[in-house]
A = this chain, B = another copy of it.
């Protein structure tokens, strides 16, 4: 009887294993494997495939030409490389040595996208899923800040608030730093952090690695403990896919906010909620707003609409135009912001407008900072901008 009992206990696990694996068999492969020299090897078992390729944001980019408004433009798409078939139908590819970073990739088997079945780490960017991995070549490099380390950890909460202006409940993500719950009388400054077109309240937490970046910076004494509020910036949506009443499919066509009017009018609902439900240090010197792409433009507009609310402004690969906004920008700088920080990639189409805003500020004698990084309109830049920006807040 005891033997049967053990057998049944084992069966409990085995049946579950079968159930899990039925929809996708496990693999005995290690992929990706980060090698000692920081090259990375990718492996896929595909004995029947004619061609196996890899596309990823660590590969040399491919220039892709396209036309818009009669202009010929070029976009740098992630590269594609071929894997080689080895014994047993296992295809592999080893990358060049990589620097510390969070990287995305997918396989292409005979031209069709296939997720790496050996790697459970996946992230959604708007409507696109990719496998991801982080690599830190040394302590303190970019990749190191995106990983989880044995430091005090903050809490990441998915919270609903009521927006009277928009007439609905909406979801936002809130990072509270380590120790927040243990110090109910302490007051914390707040960074409002906005995502890009078609994204949602999970964008900065997942691909943005906000919790990891803040945990690590705060643990090192490089950032002031702060609350980070990440709303859903597509104002006609409620929440991320799967968390909303209407289970929409995000696309760039249906998910971007066509105007910022809704942002300006409804943003106080968010601030009211946060200041009521969290123990917040209020006021200009304790409030920052920043965002990427569409969220950068929204941050720019919010700072102009409420020039005395945000003492720190971060515009990551997204700005509003200066023309027509001169008086509003004058008002922003009349309040003497502690930091007005623009970040943009040199290969980003937004750079033209970013430089124009910086030049306009320079001509006026306004202390705007323009940080020019390599690359284009990509998460790698936005994680870096957050890491740099967060260190300058509330000091």
Contact = CB atoms under 8 A, between A and B. Distances in A.
A109 interface: yes
A130 B112 CA distance: 17
Interface residues of A, number: 114
Chain B CB within 10 Å, residue with most, of A16, A148, A149, A378: A16
Given A2-B323, A158-B156, A16 B196 contact: yes
Interface in A205-254: 239, 241-245, 247, 249-252
A352 B8 contact: yes
Interface string A1-27: 111010111111111111111111010
A108 to B, nearest CB: 10
A139 interface: no
A350 B13 CA distance: 10
Interface of A: 1-3, 5, 7-24, 26, 46, 48-49, 55-57, 64, 66, 68-69, 71, 73, 75, 77-78, 104-106, 109-115, 117-122, 124-130, 132-134, 147-150, 152-160, 168-169, 171, 178, 181-182, 196-198, 239, 241-245, 247, 249-252, 256, 277, 293-294, 297, 317-318, 321, 323, 348-350, 352-353, 376-378
26 contacts: A7-B68, A7-B71, A8-B350, A8-B352, A9-B353, A11-B350, A12-B293, A12-B297, A13-B293, A14-B349, A16-B196, A17-B252, A20-B125, A23-B106, A23-B113, A24-B113, A24-B128, A115-B115, A115-B129, A120-B129, A134-B247, A148-B244, A148-B245, A155-B160, A156-B158, A181-B277
